Amino acid sequence: MKLLQNILKIVLPFLFALGILWWMYRGTDWQAFLSSVLHDMKWGWMLFSFVFGILAQLVRAWRWRMLLAPIGERARRRSCEDAVFVSYAASLVVPRSGEVLRCGLLKRADGVSFSKALGTVFTERVVDSLLIVLLTVAAFFWQVPAFKRFLDETGMDLRSFLGRFTETGYLVTIACIVAAVALVLTLVARYMKKGKKVLKNLWAGVSSLRKLNNLPLFLFWSLMIWVCYFLHFYLAFFCFDFTANIPPAAAFLIFCISTFAVLVPTPNGAGPWHFAVKTSLVLYGVAAGNAILFALAVHTIQTGLVVVLGLWGWLSTTYLQKKRIQSNKPSNA
């Protein structure tokens, strides 16, 4: 039974993602798509966006190390960086598994308490969730004047604007929301079933926020993570002529919407992310064919970066582990 559950954890998210992707790309001319990516896309902008994709993960690792210190858990900077790299790649296979895996890697590398580390990860998620909600609200109000101006210029009212959604589009949106809520409820139920010791250590991880020596720096790192994520996303707009002129404020709102889509438990948000980005771009006047091209190209290439960083982190972790084992062996006199 447990084996079946583990298999379903991998298979169901993939099937859900594949279902949405098939619906979105079922009529795609793949030869034209590849030609556009290889010849029309400005790769310099994509490579530039990689800088911020890497930096986002590094900053997350540095912030995590800050949270561990007040609860007496000393972790090396490189160990945290490698663990974060691997965690993102692992979540491509089993959604959300990376959060647990990076705690295990840090325990193996530096002897950090697994449950305390998991508590700090929970703290990270709370802080990140609050930040993205605040940023999304700010982005929405930032875009209200532009939204009104768009309706006036096109002669649309709100009903006709929302009518640009197809019935299937509404169904996909509802399915994504239900899946995200189910994930949250499952995680809450799982933590409630844990023993007192584990819950105590989880609370110790959460309470580390109050014991931070430099709270302003922690908040700065937290904000910088989202700044890097946004630049990683926004710079990709300049890869294509049809998205290059989208204003930063509009791009930021699209980024926030796509971030919520990643809450749906699919590998790296595949499917829901594509749908959210494509729909948002269409509402901002980008042709549907170009919008789905952008979503697929950007997600695929930037996911490749996650895989490369994950492999680097795993090789680095393995190498350092072997090096420590060899250094601890008694030398033959």
Give the model confidence (pLDDT) of 291-318 as tens digits: 999 999 999 999 999 999 999 999 999 9
Distance CA 292, CA 298 (A): 10
Return the closest-CA partner of residue 84 out of 316, 277, 255: 316
Instruction: Tell me what pLDDT residue 314 has.
Output: 95
Dihedral, CA atoms, 210, 121, 193, 94, nearest 10 degrees? 170
Chain centroid to Cα 136, Å, comes to 15
> Do the beta carbons of residue 283 and residue 257 sit within 8 Å?
no
Q: What is the pLDDT of residues 63-75, one digit of tens each?
A: 999 999 888 888 9
Which of 2-6, 148-152, 302-306 ranks highest by mean pLDDT?
302-306
**If we measure between CA atoms, which residue out of 82, 51, 89, 49 comes closest to residue 64?**
82
pLDDT for 191 equals 53
pLDDT category, 6, cuts 50, 70, 90? low
AA identity, residue 80: C
Rounded distance, CA 288 to CA 41, Å? 17
pLDDT tens digits for range 80-133: 999 999 999 998 888 778 899 999 999 998 889 998 888 888 888 888 888 888
Q: Give the chain as a 3 state SS string.
A: CHHHHHHHHHHHHHHHHHHHHHHHHCCCCHHHHHHHHHHHCCHHHHHHHHHHHHHHHHHHHHHHHHHHHHHCCCCCHHHHHHHHHHHHHHHHHCCCHHHHHHHHHHHHHHCCCHHHHHHHHHHHHHHHHHHHHHHHHHHHHHHHHHHHHHHHHHCCCHHHHHCCCCHHHHHHHHHHHHHHHHHHHHHHHHHHCCCHHHHHHHHHHHHCCCCCCCHHHHHHHHHHHHHHHHHHHHHHHHHCCCCCCCCHHHHHHHHHHHHHHCCCCCHHHCCHHHHHHHHHHHHCCCCHHHHHHHHHHHHHHHHHHHHHHHHHHHHHHHHHHHHHHHHHCCCCC
The pLDDT value given to residue 202: 59
pLDDT averaged over the chain? Answer: 82
| The one-letter amino acid at 138 | A
What are 166-204's pLDDT values in tens digits?
A: 555 556 556 555 655 655 555 555 555 555 555 665 565
**Nearest by Cα to 68 from 38, 103, 101, 40:** 103
pLDDT given at position 211: 75
What's the longest Cα–Cα distance across the chain? 88
